[in-house]
Every structure is written in structure tokens, then in C-alpha cells.
Chains A and B, each alone.
Chain A
Amino acid sequence: MSSPLMYGTPSSRVEGTPRSAVRGTPARQRPDLGSVRKAPEVDLQSEPPSADGPAASETNAGQRLVIWGTDVNVGTCKEKFQRFLQRFIDPTSSEDENAGLDLNEPLYMQKLEEISVVGDPVLNVSCLHVQSFDAELYRQLICYPQEVIPTFDMAVNELFFERFPDSILEYQIQVRPYNALKTRNMRSLNPEDIDQLITISGMVIRTSQLIPEMQEAFFQCQVCAFTTRVEVDRGRIAEPAVCRHCNTTHSLALVHNRSVFSDKQMIKIQESPEDMPAGQTPHTTIVYGHNDLVDKVQPGDRINITGVYRAVPMRANPRQSSVKSVYKTHIDAIHFRKTDEKRLHGLDEDSEQKLFTEDRVQTLKELAGKPDVYERLSSALAPSIYEHEDIKKGILLQLFGGSRKDFSATGRGNFRADVNILLCGDPGTSKSQLLQYVFNLVPRGQYTSGKGSSAVGLTAYVTKDPETRQLVLQTGALVLSDNGICCIDEFDKMSDSTRSVLHEVMEQQTLSIAKAGIICQLNARTSVLAAANPIESQWNPKKTTIENIQLPHTLLSRFDLIFLMLDPQDEAYDRRLAHHLVSLYYQSEEQIEEEFLDMAVLRDYIAYARTYINPRLSEEASQTLIEAYVDMRKIGSGRGMVSAYPRQLESLIRLAEAHAKVRFSEKVENIDVEEARRLHREALKQSATDPRTGFVDISILTTGMSATARKRREDIAQVLKKLIQSKGKTPAMKYQQLLDDLRGQSETAITKELFDEALRALADEDYLTVTGKTVRLLA
């Protein structure tokens, strides 16, 4: 063992430990800290901590008594911790543990009161609080947890029983520190962390059966039936060789069912995928949970775990001359904290919280201060894809998202804050590439293809767990991308039933499941970025969006922005495109790096803005929004069309908020609204332009047909009817003849499709029927 703490007599209990002062309540073993024995103390003045030999423990006098091998003085340490408990106040605390506590009163005293009421003798202490209160105490806690935490235990018990002398606890209070800043990442664990207090995050991948671990061995003499107890120290039992009573040697036998055991469980955790460098496989670490920490976590949970890092040498085997030179490492857990506990029922800011270094925040703020930050970021998005500026801007705003609003008090529930975008256009216009980029950029992104995914793949399905044989809910892409972006390629190839689940997700942002006895509603606050190809191989500019992609308008209206990615056919564009592509193929890496913002910076920027910036509408901005909305409604009203619905207003608000987030602004101002309006208009211009009139007509998206088209169809039907009537009593006409006649009569060009539509309209009126090439009048 590398730790010098092996020295000293393990089971020697120093007389008069403060424990005995705490009347009656039994102390419970802390297997998470090794044994509860009191370490020998050394006098700092006479013997430096590095000194060798157990002689040090004999010097018991003097003021500066420290625990052997450390610089911890029990008295001072206890005093400091009691002071901490009595005085620490954190008015800005937002942790859920402190919910319902008065933040202006000493925090931990309130918790002690809670313990006296509830009777659960566990006190969780945030290391951050300790650090802000007393940095020296914090350092000692981190470096010598095995010594300091028992001292804390003593301190808190003394304090507790002083204050609540009448309370009865099952056993003495145990202190569980958490949130040690020492180590965050499993990958950064190294030999220096051994025997120190660490906090790492990870995902539970396996839990073992319960293992009973012996804490105290019970021996009975075979000769005189004298019994004795031996405490287990680091997995070893010092078997007494001689019976103290009758002095027979080797007469003591272990009695199993009178020995004391504690529960123990092996838990394996794996690095979270976010912490992993590219091209490496995740690391795993073994964790031991003790007593009530057993079965606290399940495989699949994401947890933050605080514990003591241990390394155990491979046991030397007496029969073997050489041993493996490798240590086995594990963590003795002291505290678990689930990070995804509340995923299913509320906002989970904790797991979103990424730690940004001061420098990083500074860089990000500097970047945000630049006047052209919006343009910069949008050009940094998928630089390999050429132009499509507005689309990139739209996606950028989607990445930031709007502010969440909760109206559940007034009965409307949550408002959608996520922006949904649909890209449609010719095949081969790098839509998929854009989707791939976004999927790679955001931490909680999912990428599915409409072709391969089924409704269950998107939502959730119930399977039988092979190990436990219980029904478990496996979540699909939409639930997995909660708080992220779900990229759906080939949206048009989705089956109708699959698409129908999107209706709920894209507006209510929830997913209702009723399968195999599991009825629940899951959160799916995901932004949808979808790509669709036209139903014909090429986009037909003569048709509306709906006609081109054949998606139900009910679904289309749920997209905030619908962009067309078309091949613009103009020379200057071609030239720029060619230049862009060619340079892509020969530019060296450094050049590219210089030109654009790093993907990592962009990712951090978005994460920062999403976490910390929550813009609200300013008075001015609201006015502008109202104006914008009224304007939008006005556009069409002259021609009997509706060009905007409340849904569009909501979209505008979301976009404006997202734009404010891009600027790191807590207030939505006019420029945000202006940009939102511009982008919205651009998108509408592309997707909702009536190909016949050239006007923007929102009803194309909301009803699937433009108002002019409807009007026009009726007009032509009327003209046709008149034409047929003018022909007199001819029960049957040639189709081609009729078309030519109509064309001759009308001033506007009449296409075959239009003619067919008109005929169909008349057929609906039961005026005529069309059979093959002849048109017959009815009645």
C-alpha cells in the first residue's frame, strides 16, 4: 500500500473518543471510508509528517496534534466544521436539495433540524460550500477524506445532540460530501488522485448483486468458549492466535452468523459520451456502494459520484514467487447524485450546465460583443456547404431556440420554445449534409431517416429486459433528443402513421404512449430539422410547396420556417459555387481553420447562450411584433386571403428571442424582431409563394391550396360551363375539341391541368362526366 496509513494498530480505540459523548446512539460503520478506527496522531512540532516509524503515535501531548501522515488536527478540524455548519449561508443557492429552506438562515442547521424530524441520519454537504467558507478545510477534506470525514461525523453529532437532545436516530449522523471539484472527468484520473476525495460523472452500465462484506469477525475459542470480536481492516482480519482467556494457541474459530456484515454492491460506470475525445473508446471505472447506497442507481442512469479513489495491489501469493505489478483501482462511493433524474418531468438545467472556464467565457463574451456576430456564426455553420445564407441563419436560430414560457398556471401549459425547420428542395443540394452537420454539432442530437424509421423508432417502445424480464420503456429518437435537435432526413418518405406522431411532438412537445400497460406522457421538447425531397425527382416551380412534397398541410403549418434549397441558375452564383468547391478540394487544413470559427467555439457559444441567456420581450419589441403581425395579415386581406395566423406570430416571437440569444442579450429588441421578420418573410417567400400569382399566400401552407388557385379554378369551371351551354344541346363532346374551344375563348393561358381541374369541378357538381376522350353532359 502506498499510503503510510498502514502503520499503527488498527483496532486500537483511543479512550474517550467524542463518540462516547453522544449518548446511546450507536455509531454505524463507514465501510466507504475503510474502517472507522481512529488514526494515530502525531505531534507536528516534534515529528514532521514524513517521519518514519510508529513511534510518532506515542507522543500524545502538545497542542499541535495531527493525524499521522496528514496535517489534520482533529480539534481544529472539528471546530472549523462546526463553525461552518452553524454559520454557512448561501443566499444564491439554487440546488434542488435546498428547496424549501430559508436561504438567509444557516443552511446546514436547517438540514440538521430536518434530520431530527425525519430521522434519516445523513447529512449531505456540498464541498463547494466548504470551499467558499474555509479553503484550508476544503483542502484537507479533499486530500485526507479518510481522516477528515470521520472528524466531520464527530463534529456534527456533537452539535446535533447538543441541539436536539431528545431526538432518537437509528445510528449516528454520517456526513456525505459531494461536488468535490478535484476531478470531473474519468479520463483525468491519475495516480495522484489515489486516496483522495473526487467527484466524477458517468453513466452506470452494470450493477452487481448485493455482496455481504464482513465488518466485524466473531471468534469463539473451541476450548473455553471465550468469544472475541475483531474489526476488519481493509479486507483483512487479524485472527487472534492465542485465546486471551485460557491461553490456548490457535483455538479460536470464526462464527459466521455472529459476525457483522454490511451491504456492498459493485457498480460499473462509464464515461459519458460527451467527455470522450474523438476516436477513443469510453473508459470504465468500478465503484463500490455501501449500506444504503446499494441499489440507489440503475444501469443507464447518469450520475455524479463522489467518493474516495482507491488502488489495491494484487495480493502477493505465498505460493507464487512473482506477482502482477498492477494495481486494481476502484472508487468507494460516498455520495451519488443522479443527473438525469428529472428528465421526465421537468427542466433539467443541471445536466445542461457545462463548465466553462473563465477564459472561455471571456472569449465567448468578446465574440458576442462584435457587431457582426450573427453573420459570423451563421457563416461558421457548415462551412463546407455553399451559401444558402438565410437557411444557415434559420438553423442558427433554431440551435439557440426561444425562451421557455410556462403558462400552466393559466391552463395553457408550456409554450413551445423550439423552432422547427423544414428544408425542401432538389436532390443533391446538400440537405443531408446540413443535417449531418447539425447532428454532429449539438450534444443531444439524433439523426434518423424517414425511410428507415417507424413510429416506434421515433417515439418509444416497450421491450422485455433480457436480464430482469421486466417490461421496460425504450425511448426513441424524439424522446432522446429532448432539449436537443432531431434531424429527420427524407421526411417525405415517412409513412403516414409515423408522421402522425409528429403532430403532438411538434406543437405540444410531449409524447403520449399507451402500450402494454404503460400509459404515460413523455417530454419531447425537441426541435425538428427535417429535409424533404419533391415528389417528382425535380422541384416543379409551377407547383406549390404542398403539391411538390405532398405533405399534409396540418404538419407543414407546424414548421416555423420552410426553406427551399434550389439550384439558383445564374452565372455569378455558379462561379462562386465552383470556386468554393474547388478550394474545398485543395485548400490546406490551416487555411480553412483560419477562415472560419472553430466548431468547438460554436458549440460552446450555443451551449452558453442556451444555458445562461433567457431573453424577454421589451415593450418596444412587442409593439414592433404587433405591427409586423398586423402587416402580415393586411397583405392578403385585400385579395380575400389570410396571410398570417397566430401560429406565425408565435414563430416570430421565438425567432426574435433566438436572435437576442445570439447577441447574448437579455432583452428582445427591435433589431431582433426585424431580423425575425425578415427571415420569416424570406422563408415564406420561398415556400408560400403562389406560383400562379407570385404573391405570398400563407394559405398554401395552412390549407394546402392558394386562395387564388381556388378562385381561379372556380372561374374556369364557370367559363367552361358557359361554353358548353352555348354549344346547345350536344350530349357528348370531344375532349380535345372542348379544350381548344376554351383556349380560343379565354385571354389567359389555359393549361391542360387547369382544364382537367375545371372538368373535375363540373363533374363534382354532377353536371357532366368524363369518359376517356369524350365529355358527356348529365341531365
Chain B
Amino acid sequence: MPSSHDWINNPLGVVEGMFAASQNNPNSGWEAKAVEFFKDHLNEKDAHTWVPSLNDVPLHYLKPNSLVKFRCLIQDMFDPEFYMGVYEAVNPSTRDKVLRCGKYKDVTECGVDFNSKNTVTAERQTFYCVPIPGESPWFPLILSHCYAGLSQARDVPSTSYAPARQKRSYEEDDDMDTQPQKQRDVGWIAPLLSAGPQTASEHHGNGDCKRQETEAPSSQVASASRVDLNFPLPGEKGPSCLLKVYEDWDGFKLNDAVEVFGILSVSPALSALADEKDASSSLLDPADSMETAEEQRVHSPPASLVPRLHMLYAKPLPHNNPLLPAAACEQNSAYLSSTRSEMATVRTELLAYFTHILLGDALAAEYLILHLISNVYHRHDVLPLGKFTLNLSGCPTEASYTERFYQIIQQLVPSSYYLGMTLQNMNQMRLVPKKDYVANRLVSGALQLARNTSLFLDESRLEQGQLDTTGVRNVTALGNVISWQKFDYDFNYHQMGIPCNINVLIASEGRSLLPSDCRIHLQSQVAPSDVEEYLRSIHTQSQASQLNKFRVYLSVARLLDYSISDEVTKSVEDDFVEMRKDDPQSISAEDLHRMLVVARLLSLSLGQTSLSRDGWLRAKHIEALRRSRMEQHKCVNGNEQ
């Protein structure tokens, strides 16, 4: 490792250096400088790619107290905590008193003088973060591809580690062949480790990767089952972490997706302290009765399972697509304008692709594109603008069509979730987050999703039966998400409305029981004998390069700015008045709302950042086509309203 990367391998050294330098100069503002230092370094070209990511690299490959990054969702916010910002410690060998900095650390060095006058109490906030829910399975492939060029020696395990499953087993095999002895060692050490913290700290002290190896993935899974990591979606994997935030924590909101750069702290002392307390329950220790066992488990889980991350720098993620440059905004806009020119051609390809999937229905494919790039870009008092919930009715009843369809969408969007609306799911799933006062945490629900997550509701799974209380509440929550992009979290004594930004796609046979912004009835042009086979063939035919193009396209379209010029405004108004004049029933204010959204999305899908007259006409045209199809459909099915 080159010495220039010390700020990655030993960021605490940098912080402490600055702290020490500031001692002679009380007003130096070293804290701001330290943050600035890391920010500058990270903003250098490519610098952020050198930092290993907690998402992709298993925890036991990461060096403790090094700089890591984590792409995550703020799932819960704990209470702020006071810590010793500066404390005085006695050096056991020299008996000198030394001032130490407690920032970015969980534990203090030995010999703290609690009564020292120089102790400075500071405040920090803890967030509980989980990986962004529903991240698509194509992520690791892309990322491993990105890192391929950077693969380095084993002592920087981060970058060389490819999280793809096959790769891992290969690596393990490799270990087996070359170091059989070591593997056996590991087997011995593992039980010892769990027995006592002392052994763990020994290994930690040695600082070699043996410690890391011992916490092999298998044991991680085993312990994970013991501690509920509170992922919003069932079956999610990955690390969660306790994020310690030192400044501006008011700027973070629940469910924000952020990329955090911080100092990894997995000190075994943390979990040791927790164990200690159970053993020595002294009556007079005030700390004892404060927390219940559940709360302990939630707020100070073993560091090997839930590492602590001391934040140096965080940036909000406008998107979580690894194919797009994650760089700062200025560069982004340059990037956007460069890709804009190609958008029209990619769109044509994507339209053809979707048309295939939707059994030859080009209009539905068009709407599907619009839906996938929709985004709540503004809230006007309670009204969310830009949402575009699509109800795709008339889906083939063949068992697996909707599932296959979801898999294809999953291949294209960065994060998504499939929710089969079976009676059982509706009655039993926890969609709405609920506060658990015993453990003092927000128990997540499946609707606690990051912005722009695609939620695929499969209503074709609906069966006859009765919804119970939970079911009714879940359906209400879904309805609120669709209509207001906001739903109530259950805080037991009161409800709290939390805004969200979720793209909901409803696949159903008839009209959905949930509200939707726009409904289109599928009209298949082709009738393949085996739908599943048909879709699978499309799925396998598509090439990675083409898929990547689509992925970039969908994310970019969402990021573009949009405006309407005065002239177009005028002509839209004229159009509206004209249409109302002919037949007032034909178009209502709600229709105009929808048409404006369609026009917006249609323009963006073509890479146009402002509405043109043509764009408006085109929007009008496809809306008219859709409406006429609805009319038709109404006649065919008398009982539909």
C-alpha cells in the first residue's frame, strides 16, 4: 500500500494528528478541518473507489479502524448520546496525564480520569442503517467488474474481493488447496472466540487477518438468526451498521439513502461490555435498570455483526445505480447532457424490448417506460407531483407471467420488490413500520423503501377470503402510498405520516382494487403457446451490454431537469379549453393532471428537458389511444366500471 493512502488505512491517525496540533491553538477549528481533509481527498478523481465498501466486502475482510464506505438506508434514528469528546488519560508507564480525543471512537484508552476538569462532553447521534432494500441482483456483477482493474494484494482485501457467489466458493477452494493448515486453525479458534472476549482482543491486537477469517460467513449467518437485523424486506442479507454522526444530523431524514464514508469500528470491547453487564448485575449501577435486555440487544449488538461506523463524510444518493458516475453534481450534469443525445435511440430499443415482453402491446410498453422513469419531484402542500402509478390490467392468467415479468423489471432497475398480494401476505406481512417500545426501535416494514424503489404489486395472486385487521391496515397503507406517496408509521400512541417516493406497478387481471394514476389494459398481439418459455427466451437473449444501456437510460431519465415554456403553457391551456368546449365530460381536471405528467415523462424519456408542442401532442395522442382502449374494454366487460 502506498503511503499516500494512509488516510484510508489509518484515518484515526490523521484525526489524532490534527487534534494534537490544535492543542496549542484552542481556536484552530481542527474538527472542521479534519472533515474538510477527508472530503477533499474523497473528491479527488477516483479516490472514492479506493475506499473499500461494506456492501461488497464481507466484514471480516475489512481492516478495523480503516476508512470504509457504506451505501445504506437510514432505517431508524436512536437517541443522541453524549460522549467524551476530549478526556484525560494517565499513561501507565510514565504517569503523565495526556489529553486524548474521543471523537470517531467507541472506546477510550485505559486510565481515563473521569474527574478531570479537561473533559469535554460532546454530543453525537446514532442512526441504524441497513443496505438499501431490494437492491437488484445485478449489482455485484457490475461492481466486481468495476473493481477488476484495481485488484490488489491480499492485505487490502477489500478491492480484490468479488462478492459474487461463485467467486467466493472459488476463493475458499483456493484457500483449501494452499493453506489447509490455516483452515484447520480457524476451526479451532472459532469456538474459543465465542467463549471469551479476551481471545478476540488478542487477535485484534495482532491485527492480522486471522481474526477476520475466523468469523467466517457461516457463523455470521448463524448469529444473524439470533439477532434480528431489522431489514425492511424479508430475506435480505448484508451488513447493517450503527452510524455515528457528529455534525448536522438534523439534515438526515428517515429513509434517506446515503453513501457514508467513515471509520469502521469493530472493537470486540463493545460486545464484551454488553456481556459483562449481564454477569455483574449490581443493584446500585444506574446503567443497569435503564435498558431492558431487548434494548441492549438492539442498541449494542455485537460489533462483529453490526459494526459501528463513525461518519466523516456522507453524500445523499440521488440514485443508487452503480453504472452512473456517483461523482459530484457539476460532473453529473455534464454526464447527463452527454448521454441525453443517445437517449432517443436507447428508448426505441427499450420500447421494442418491452413490447416483446408485453406480448406485442406497444402502447402498454410505452406506458411502462413512463412509469419506470417517474419520480416525485416536488410536493405541493399535500399533493405529490410527478408520481405515476401504473395499473397493468389484463395480465395473462398463466401462473408465472407476472413473476417472470417482475424478474425482467428487476434486471433493469437498481432496486425493486415483488409483493404478491395473496391473502396470506396481506394479512400477515408487516408492511407498515411499527415502533417497538420494549426494544426501543422502529421495527421495519416492507414499505420502508428507499426513494425510487420499484414496488411490484401482483394482484393476480389475489384470492377469495377475508382481510383481517392487519390486512385492512396493509391495504390502506398501500392505498396511501399510491395516492399521497406518504403513509402512517405506527408509533402505538400516535401515527406519524412519513413521505415516501415509491414507484408502484400493479399487475392485475381486472381493474385493481387499489387506486392508480393510470390504468392500461394489456392487449396481447401474439399468443405464445407457452408464456413462460416465451419470456424466458427474451430474458436469456438479452445481452449484458444492452441491459446496461437500459439501466443507465432509466436512471438518467429520472435525473433530468424539466421545464415548460410560456408558449407551450399557453397552447396547453388552449387545448384544454378547446377539449372542454366540445365535451365537458371528456376531460376533467384530473385528466389534465395526468396528461401533464404523461407529457413530462414522455419528454424526459426522449431526453428532452422541456415540453415541446410536439411532445404535448404526442402525450395527448397516447392518452387518447389509452382511453379509447378503456372504452372498448368497458363495452366488452359489462361489469367493469
Contacts and interface: CB of A to CB of B under 8 A. Distances in A.
B585 to A, nearest CB: 8
A266 B564 CA distance: 59
Contact of B385 (A213, A276, A313, A585): A585
B97 to A, nearest CB: 14
B119 A2 contact: yes
A317 B117 CA distance: 21
Given A266-B290, A582-B596, A214 B284 contact: yes
B301 to A, nearest CB: 14
Contacts of A433: 382-383
B636 interface: no
B76 interface: yes
B123 A191 contact: yes
A428 B589 contact: yes
A52 interface: yes
A190 B123 contact: yes
B117 A327 contact: no
A728 to B, nearest CB: 46
A476 to B, nearest CB: 13
B287 A382 contact: no
Interface in B349-384: 378, 380-383
A320 B276 contact: yes
Nearest to B483: A432
B596 A194 contact: no
A283 interface: yes
Q: How large is the interface on B (under 10, 10 to 19, 20 to 34, 35 or more residues)?
A: 35 or more
Given A321-B110, A578-B573, A235 B285 contact: yes
Nearest to B89: A322
A315 B385 CA distance: 53
Q: Which of A6, A314, A426, A449 has the most CB of B within 10 A?
A: A314
B572 interface: yes
B381 A567 contact: no
A690 B219 CA distance: 78
B380 to A, nearest CB: 4
Nearest to A281: B77
Interface stretch (B333-341, B491-499, B520-528): B491-499
A300 B577 contact: no
**Best-surrounded residue of B572, B573, B576 (most CB of chain A within 10 A):** B573
A232 B107 CA distance: 29
B276 A325 contact: no
A320 B272 contact: yes
B7 interface: no
A315 B285 contact: yes
Given A320-B269, A322-B110, A585-B564, A286 B276 contact: no
A273 B273 contact: no
A430 B382 CA distance: 12
Interface stretch (A124-132, A204-212, A676-684, A733-741): A204-212
B82 A326 contact: yes
B289 A266 contact: yes
Contacts of B498: 279
B270 interface: yes
A438 to B, nearest CB: 9
Contact of A322 (B269, B290, B493): B269
A266 B437 CA distance: 14
A577 B245 CA distance: 47
A285 B78 CA distance: 11
Interface string A414-435: 0000000000001011101100
B117 A311 contact: no
B108 interface: yes
Given A191-B123, A324-B270, A440-B382, A574 B493 contact: no
B405 interface: no
A2 B118 CA distance: 9
B217 to A, nearest CB: 28
Contacts of B472: 452
A586 interface: yes
Interface-central residue, B109, B287, B442, by most chain A CB under 10 Å: B287
Interface in A304-350: 311-317, 319-330
A194 B493 CA distance: 29
A383 interface: yes
B82 A582 contact: no
A357 interface: no
A599 B379 CA distance: 13
A469 interface: no
Given A320-B273, A323-B107, A582-B569, A383 B381 contact: yes
A428 B515 CA distance: 12
Contacts of B272: 320
A470 interface: no
A468 interface: no
Nearest to B280: A317
B315 interface: no
Nearest to A313: B114
Interface string A185-225: 00000110010000000010110100101100000000000
Nearest to B442: A281
A578 B493 CA distance: 43
B83 interface: yes
A268 B114 contact: no
B246 interface: no
Given A194-B121, A208-B289, A330-B290, A578 B83 contact: no
Interface in A113-143: none
A323 B589 contact: no
Nearest to A312: B286
B112 interface: yes
Nearest to B488: A447
A95 interface: no
B499 A279 contact: yes
A584 interface: yes
Interface in A223-247: 232, 235-237
Nearest to A438: B382
B514 interface: no
A2 B285 CA distance: 18
Nearest to B287: A328
B573 A579 contact: yes
Contact of A581 (B77, B494, B593, B641): B593
Interface string B373-399: 000001011110100000000000000
A599 B381 contact: yes
B106 A324 contact: yes
B170 to A, nearest CB: 39
Nearest to A586: B564
B79 A284 contact: yes
Chain B CB within 10 Å, residue with most, of A205, A282, A313, A321: A313
B253 interface: yes
B216 interface: no
Contacts of A330: 286, 290
B381 A382 contact: yes
A578 B581 CA distance: 13
B622 interface: no
Contact of A311 (B82, B494, B576, B590): B82
A208 B295 CA distance: 14
Contacts of B518: none
Interface centre among A266, A273, A284, A326 (most CB of B within 10 A): A326
Given A282-B491, A320-B272, A315 B107 contact: no
Contacts of B37: none
A326 B81 contact: yes
B422 interface: no
Nearest to B576: A578
20 contacts: A6-B115, A211-B289, A279-B498, A281-B254, A281-B442, A284-B440, A285-B79, A319-B276, A320-B272, A320-B276, A322-B110, A323-B108, A324-B108, A325-B107, A428-B590, A429-B588, A437-B381, A574-B580, A584-B380, A586-B564
Closest 5 CB pairs of A and B: A279-B253, A578-B576, A578-B573, A586-B564, A428-B590
Given A1-B114, A316-B114, A581-B589, 10 more contacts: A205-B492, A214-B284, A235-B286, A283-B80, A324-B269, A329-B82, A383-B381, A436-B382, A452-B472, A585-B596
